[in-house]
Every structure is written in structure tokens, then in C-alpha cells.
């Protein structure tokens, strides 16, 4: 019955008119419409000269990075290890090793340091694990030991997030409001993204203790955004506005590709699986940028540094299959509209997973070439620093 509903939904959507769409073979220019569809390829190469430093090598699918107040960093490896980067050197012994459930895209994924890490030494992990013989995703809180060489599990702060072979989400970030934001996937069941009772296909917002903040869109629900397929990247334009990347379909509802960059606020519904590409629908957010070819996006960060002034305020997105770093500049006069987008590191470092700003004001990127879909060479996966 569910497959019949999905097929009917797909046929209706495919015959609906798509509005508010701009089309581009390379790079779009601002117009009266808010959605830019790049029909072929990814866009032109960016002209800003860059220097790329290899900060660490020998990693295995470094999915998330959390910088600590002293400049060190914790790095998750998807097979279940938390690694310490101390004084610029990757330490050989893991800080922690977690049991994980067997899954193609699950495992040990996102990580975030508590805003008060300097005093409580707490950090958070998003992990796919077995619970009563069934795989699920959950958010755990850990405490790093005084010497930084070991960590202790404290407790699960949010569990029961559906897991599947694909679409596990996994990104963790603390927002400017001090709340913990959790990106989840639809666990290969698109209907869950629109189900208010399910945490799947959502951006969740929790207190550092795992409670539902009373100022959430619904005070009884952790959901901050809904209608997501498999987000792995989001960051804040300002205190109330988020940039959110999402994976487009790979066959569901007879559709493919069309990964997205969205502009969203609390309570927004980003439309999956009801809208696709530049389609519009009442009560759903149409993306600002979407691609006719499958990208799909990894992590994302707003550039806040000064080393590359041309990038300031732009969204930088790591991409996996298309193997590049994508820069998106929004129109200051029309905040949902893309003014420019361009490609950096095209086919240079392979698949790019996490993207984040470091405490030194530089952009950091991890590769994901050892995940079974890339070329895992002798140096394995890398942590990169990007500067002028």
C-alpha cells in the first residue's frame, strides 16, 4: 500500500507545474525567482587563489571534527573511533572506541563539543548502534579525561532515531543559542520526513541535557525543521536563519539527483518527499540552489574568517560524488536568492565530508575517500586547512 501511495505521489508531482525556477548551464545570476537550477555540471571554477595544508593524514572516514578551546580537536572515524589531534599531531591511540551497528552510511558520525567544554569537558556523538538487536541512531554525551587520552560515556541524551543502510543523517552542531542541533535522515522511508511523531528526516533542536526547549516550534517536539531526506550540513546565517544542505532522491518517487541548498527558519518544512527541484507547494520551502546531477553534499559552513575576504559570509559545502568544494554567495538584497556559486578543489582531494571553521579563522575540510566509494590511498583520509 505504501509503495502505491509513493507512486501516486510521484505521478502527481511530475505532472504539477514547477514554478519560481531559474536555469543555468554553469553559473546563475540573480533574477526575480528564488530557485536556481543548475541543469548540467556544477558551475565555473572560482578565481580566488588558495593554499591547502594537510593537517593530519592516516584517518579512516573522518566524519566530524570538534575543535576544543585549547586548539586541539576531536575527530570521529566512522568505523567507531574518536581520535585526538593534539598540537597539530594526530595521536595514534583513540580517545574512545565505540561499538557500531553494521550499516553502509551509519556508524560513528557527528561530534560537537559542549559550549562550556572548558569547564565540563563534555562532548556529544551521533552513533549508529544496536539496541535490543535492532540498529538505531542516537546522540550520546561523553566526558574527555583531564589528560585528553581517554573519554568516558555519560549517557544517551536522545535515542530512537531510525536507522537504515542509507540516509542516517548524523551532523551535530551547537547553535548561537547554545542549543544542540541534530541532523537526521529519513532512514529510506520518505514518509517519515513528514511524520511529526518521528525524529527521522528532521533537524532536531535539544538542550545540552537532551530536553526539548520550550521555544521549539512545538514545545512537545524536538523537531526544528522537517521535510529533510538526509542532511549532513547546516550553519547559521544569523541568529534565526539557517543554511541547510540536503541530498536529493536516488530513485524514490521516480526521481533522481537535485541535491539542495536551502534557507530556513524555525518550523520550516523543506518539502521532502512532496516537492522536487524548483517545485513549489503551499507550506513547503523551495530550495535556493539545486543541481540536475547528483552531488551530493557533505558538511557545510559559513565562512567567517578574514584570510579570504572574498568568501566572507559565503556558504562552503563539501561534496562527495562530485568531489569538490562549492562556494555559494547569497544576494544581500534577497536573502533566499543565490547571487553566485562556484567550484574549488575540483577533483583534487576526492570526496569531501565535513566542512567547518576553525578557531584560527581558517576553513577545515575532511576527505571521505576510504568509505568504499573513493580512492583510499597510502595516506588514507585527510584533514585539510584552507587559507590564502
Mean pLDDT for 206-224 is: 98
User: 21-25, 209-213, 330-334: which range is least confident on average?
Assistant: 21-25
Determine the pLDDT at residue 23: 58
Do 35 and 20 meet the contact criterion of CB atoms below 8 Å apart? yes
In angstroms, what CA-CA distances link 223 with 122, 123, 125, 305?
Answer: 23, 21, 19, 31
| Confidence band of 21 (pLDDT split at 50, 70, 90) | low
Do 264 and 276 meet the contact criterion of CB atoms below 8 Å apart? no
Mean pLDDT for 172-177 is: 98
Question: Max CA-CA distance within the chain?
Answer: 61
User: 18-22, 32-36, 50-54, 186-190: which range is least confident on average?
Assistant: 18-22
| Confidence band of 22 (pLDDT split at 50, 70, 90) | low
The answer, yes or no, to whether residue 25 has pLDDT greater than 80, is no
300/296 Cα distance (integer angstroms): 12
246/234 Cα distance (integer angstroms): 9
Do 329 and 343 meet the contact criterion of CB atoms below 8 Å apart? no
| Confidence band of 75 (pLDDT split at 50, 70, 90) | very high
Residue found by looking up cell 577545515 in the block: 364
77/82 Cα distance (integer angstroms): 6
Determine the pLDDT at residue 124: 99
Residue found by looking up cell 558551475 in the block: 43
Which secondary-structure segment (H or E) carries 97? strand 96-97
Determine the pLDDT at residue 246: 98
φ, ψ of residue 254 in degrees (nearest 5): 60, 30
Give the whole-number percent of the chain exceeding pLDDT 70. Answer: 92
Q: Which comes out higher in pLDDT, residue 18 or 192?
A: 192
Closest to 273 measured CA to CA, from 338, 222, 218, 200: 200
Give how many domains the chain has, as a whole number: 1
Determine the pLDDT at residue 337: 96
Instruction: List residues bridging with 124 in a β-sheet.
Output: 112, 141
Closest to 194 measured CA to CA, from 184, 206, 204, 186: 186
What pLDDT digit, counting tens, does each position of 101-116 carry? 977 899 999 999 999 9
pTM of the predicted protein model: 0.93
The answer, yes or no, to whether residue 8 has pLDDT greater than 50, is no
Angle at 67 between CA 74 and CA 59, to 5 degrees: 40
In this structure, the dihedral spanned by the alpha carbons of residues 118, 120, 125 and 129, taken in order and rounded to 10 degrees, is 160
Residue found by looking up cell 528532521 in the block: 202
Closest to 326 measured CA to CA, from 256, 266, 249, 243: 243
Residues 6+ positions from 70 with CB-CB distance below 8 Å: none
Instruction: Give the end-to-end CA distance of the chain in Å, rounded to a whole number.
Output: 55
DSSP codes, 286-339:
PPSEEESS---EEEEEE---SSSGGGTT-EEEEESTT-SEEEEEEETTEEEEEE
Q: Could you tell me the CATH number of the domain that includes residue 186?
A: 2.120.10.30
- Which residues form the domain of 190? 2-387
15/13 Cα distance (integer angstroms): 5
The answer, yes or no, to whether residue 27 has pLDDT greater than 70, is no
Determine the pLDDT at residue 6: 47
Question: According to DSSP H, which parts of the chain are helical?
Answer: 2-15, 117-120
Mean pLDDT for 216-223 is: 97
Residue found by looking up cell 540498529 in the block: 135
Determine the pLDDT at residue 248: 97
Determine the pLDDT at residue 253: 84
Per-chain mean pLDDT for the chain: 92
Give the whole-number percent of the chain exceeding pLDDT 90. Answer: 90
* Exposure of 214 in the CB half-sphere (CA atoms within 13 A): 0
Return the C-alpha cell found at 380: 588514507
Length of the chain: 388
Residues 6+ positions from 333 with CB-CB distance below 8 Å: none
Do 172 and 205 meet the contact criterion of CB atoms below 8 Å apart? no
The answer, yes or no, to whether residue 31 has pLDDT greater than 60, is no
Instruction: Classify burial at 339, counting beta carbons within 10 Å of its beta carbon; exposed 0-12, middle 13-18, buried 19 or more.
Output: middle
What pLDDT digit, counting tens, does each position of 294-341 carry? 999 999 999 999 999 999 999 999 999 999 999 999 999 999 999 999
Return the C-alpha cell found at 288: 535556493
Alpha-carbon Rg of the chain, whole angstroms? 20
Answer whether the bond into residue 15 is a cis peptide, omega within 30°: no
Do 22 and 39 meet the contact criterion of CB atoms below 8 Å apart? no
Mean pLDDT for 287-300 is: 97
Amino acid at each position: 500500500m505504501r509503495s502505491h501511495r509513493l507512486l501516486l505521489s510521484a505521478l502527481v508531482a511530475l505532472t504539477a507545474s514547477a514554478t519560481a525556477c531559474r536555469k543555468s548551464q554553469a553559473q546563475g545570476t540573480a533574477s526575480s525567482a528564488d530557485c536556481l537550477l543548475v541543469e548540467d555540471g556544477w558551475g565555473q571554477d572560482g578565481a580566488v587563489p588558495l593554499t591547502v595544508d594537510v593537517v593530519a593524514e592516516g584517518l579512516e572516514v573522518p566524519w566530524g571534527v570538534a575543535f576544543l578551546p585549547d586548539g586541539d580537536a576531536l575527530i570521529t572515524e566512522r568505523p567507531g573511533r574518536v581520535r585526538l589531534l593534539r598540537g597539530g599531531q594526530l595521536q595514534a591511540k583513540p580517545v574512545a572506541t565505540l561499538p557500531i551497528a553494521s550499516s553502509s552510511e551509519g556508524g560513528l558520525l557527528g561530534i560537537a563539543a559542549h559550549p562550556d567544554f572548558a569547564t565540563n569537558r563534555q562532548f556529544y556523538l551521533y552513533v549508529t548502534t544496536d539496541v535490543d538487536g535492532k540498529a538505531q541512531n542516537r546522540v550520546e554525551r561523553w566526558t574527555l579525561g583531564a589528560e585528553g587520552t581517554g573519554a568516558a560515556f555519560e549517557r544517551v541524551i536522545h535515542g530512537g532515531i531510525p536507522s537504515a543502510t542509507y540516509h542516517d543523517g548524523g551532523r551535530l552542531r551547537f547553535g548561537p543559542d547554545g542549543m544542540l542541533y541534530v541532523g537526521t535522515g529519513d532512514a529510506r522511508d520518505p514518509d517519515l520526513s513528514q511524520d511529526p511523531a518521528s525524529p527521522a528526516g528532521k533537524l532536531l533542536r535539544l538542550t545540552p541535557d537532551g530536553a526539548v526547549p520550550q521555544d521549539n516550534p512545538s514545545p512537545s517536539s524536538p523537531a526544528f525543521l522537517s521535510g529533510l531526506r538526509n542532511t549532513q550540513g547546516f550553519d547559521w546565517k544569523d541568529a534565526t536563519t539557517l543554511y541547510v544542505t540536503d541530498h536529493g532522491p536516488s530513485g524514490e518517487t521516480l526521481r533522481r539527483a537535485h541535491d539542495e541548498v536551502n534557507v530556513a527558519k524555525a518550523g520550516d518544512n523543506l518539502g521532502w518527499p512532496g516537492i522536487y527541484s524548483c517545485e513549489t507547494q503551499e507550506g513547503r520551502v523551495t530550495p535556493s540552489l539545486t543541481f540536475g546531477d547528483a552531488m551530493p553534499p557533505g558538511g557545510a559552513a559559513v565562512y567567517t574568517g578574514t584570510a579570504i575576504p572574498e568568501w566572507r559570509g559565503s556558504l562552503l559545502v563539501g561534496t562527495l560524488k562530485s568531489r569538490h568544494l562549492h562556494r555559494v554567495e547569497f544576494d544581500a538584497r534577497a536573502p533566499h536568492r543565490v547571487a553566485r556559486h562556484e567550484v574549488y578543489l575540483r577533483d583534487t582531494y576526492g570526496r569531501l565530508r565535513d566542512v567547518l571553521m576553525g578557531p584560527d579563522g581558517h576553513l577545515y575540510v575532511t576527505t571521505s575517500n576510504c568509505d568504499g566509494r573513493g580512492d583510499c590511498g597510502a595516506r588514507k583520509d585527510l584533514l585539510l586547512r584552507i587559507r590564502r
